[in-house]
Chains A and B, each alone.
Chain A
Amino acid sequence: MNILAQVLENRGWLLADGATGTNLFDIGLEAGEAPELWNFEAPDKVQSVYQGAVGAGSDIILTNSFGGTSARLKLHNAQNRVKELNERSAQLARDVALKSGRRVIVAGSVGPTGELLHPVGTLTEEEASEIFSEQIEGLLEGGVDLIWAETISSAEEFRAVAAAAAVHSAPWCGTMSFDTAGRTMMGVTAPDMVQLVNELEHKPLAFGANCGTGASDLLRTIIGFTKANPSVPLIAKGNAGIPKFVDGHVHYDGTPELMGDYAVLARDCGAAIIGGCCGTRPQHLEEMKRRLLNDPKGSVPDLDAIQERLGAFSSPADGTEDTAPPIRQRKRRRG
């Protein structure tokens, strides 16, 4: 039995962590700096973010390695440090997990390359896979339990992560960001992703959605997954509300109470692994854990109930309606 299944067997749900970026910015990371460099420059601060999540009750923490591919690190002229930066992010997390005195899963965060993949862009799936493979090697050497890809928007890039994890026989999870009218930027719908996962040779232990727009949209995506009969547990990692610009500063408007509601609704929708993304701090996680422990699991809410409790959807539809989008009438098709 895999590590997630073992833990899920005991309780049926797991609390993941919040937003690494948000929390690092809170303690002085400057915009434009690569958070990964802090694994060496400010390891105590990186560990304080890990500890914040563990202290709030997270069962899974993600390493500070989201931008840890050579494709992203080259923007900071650190493309030659892929192995050490990833390895170190994992060691720091493992250390916090060990000291917690309970079982905390360390997941090695893998973010998108930031490049457009073929056929839209020039990076091939194989090249992307090599880029991910290098990062994954570092994470595994640092002692992660599994690999965790997040905020992916194209099917090609998701497959590239799967292939890279397969190279190292590493267990992995993957989430995509559904931020464009219920689809990913590249047009992937929730049922599309279920099919994508089903067709993978090296299947993830769990998959799902992260980031995107508000918590409501994210839950609509989870319902979309459930309806397509996913074969592995679902992950929900939504943002703490929606960013607002107040007095020259930006903050996410999601309160701990809202995120507590979101967490139990996510479970009702069918998610087994529940966490936060942008704007999610330890105080949100604490409330999420409290509610998940105290509230009984309910039935799947309808979309109106979700809107009522978490706010309006960003778009009326999410690409999974029964009526297919209008197919453009073509005058002529080429042979």
Chain B
Amino acid sequence: MADEEELILSDLPDDELVLQMHDDLYDGLKDEIIEAVEILLSRNWTPYDILTKALVEGMRIVGIDFRDGILFVPEVLLAANAMKGGMGLLKPLLVETGAPRLGKMVIGTVKGDIHDIGKNLVSMMMEGAGFEVTDLGINNPVENYLDALEAEQPDILGMSALLTTTMPYMKVVIDTLIEKGMREDYIVLVGGAPLNEEFGKAIGADAYCRDAAVAVETAKELIARKHNQVAAS
């Protein structure tokens, strides 16, 4: 609103600045997010705290409103884009400081399927939530997935299909993982317009994700569960 006073980010105390960052992520304001990350860094915040408390938390709120039908894809993409702006600054610092990573995902549309918008949304939202994502693109035979799993050692394998004729290929990939004794090494998430929960179960995936926001939530939950299991054993 034009008649309101211009807000100076650097004048805000830490707690208010973080809340403002949540708002700015919600509104997809990339420049403001970058500026705020710089301010927090100058105030000696750790890159990991900035990532989790400001950016990931802000995107969590975006994800909730997306899930609840208050925000739609365009707003979510702008938010994810703003998040990526902040991540650009944080990424090298996170590596330097040896901060724990949230998780890594390999994702691709299955063989025979050339649809990519849904998969791209999941990639962007996962990156927006702080995950590392390797995107294999479209039309991936099982070998592509196996090579990428080998090379990237991800926590999560994501598969997408938009065609009823290509959905069954997800099962081919999962069956191959089982055959090679690798299935339990990864969390397998599947998605795509014609799929449903029943289908996800039928082919042996860990979860079907209705949309990109659900994919992020599910990924976080299953990774936390896996860590707990490791800690308990």
Contacts and interface: CB of A to CB of B under 8 A. Distances in A.
Nearest to B75: A187
Interface string B61-80: 00001000110111101100
Contacts of B6: 334-335
A25 B73 CA distance: 30
B178 interface: no
B198 A328 contact: no
Contact of A315 (B5, B69, B166): B69
B27 to A, nearest CB: 8
A31 B193 contact: no
Contacts of B77: 116, 120-121
Given A186-B73, A186-B74, A335 B194 contact: no
A11 interface: no
A334 B26 CA distance: 13
Contacts of A145: none
Contact of A250 (B5, B70, B164): B164
A76 B7 CA distance: 50
Interface residues of B, number: 47
Contacts of B74: 119-120, 154, 186-187
Q: Say what secondary structure dominates the interface of chain A.
A: loop
Interface in A281-335: 315, 317, 319, 325-326, 328, 330-335
Interface residues of A, number: 42
Contact of A243 (B2, B194, B202): B194
Interface in B25-80: 26, 29, 32, 65, 69-70, 72-75, 77-78
Contact of B167 (A116, A187, A250, A252): A250
Interface of B: 1-2, 4-7, 19-20, 23-24, 26, 29, 32, 65, 69-70, 72-75, 77-78, 111-117, 120, 138-139, 163-169, 171, 193-194, 198-199, 202-203, 211
28 contacts: A30-B112, A31-B166, A32-B111, A32-B113, A32-B166, A75-B139, A114-B115, A116-B77, A116-B120, A119-B74, A119-B78, A120-B74, A120-B77, A180-B73, A185-B73, A186-B72, A186-B73, A187-B75, A245-B198, A245-B203, A249-B168, A250-B164, A250-B168, A325-B70, A328-B26, A330-B23, A334-B7, A335-B1
10 closest A-B pairs by beta carbon, nearest first, are A187-B72, A31-B112, A32-B112, A250-B164, A31-B165, A243-B194, A335-B6, A245-B199, A181-B69, A120-B74
Given A114-B117, A186-B74, A334-B32, 4 more contacts: A32-B112, A319-B69, A326-B70, A335-B4
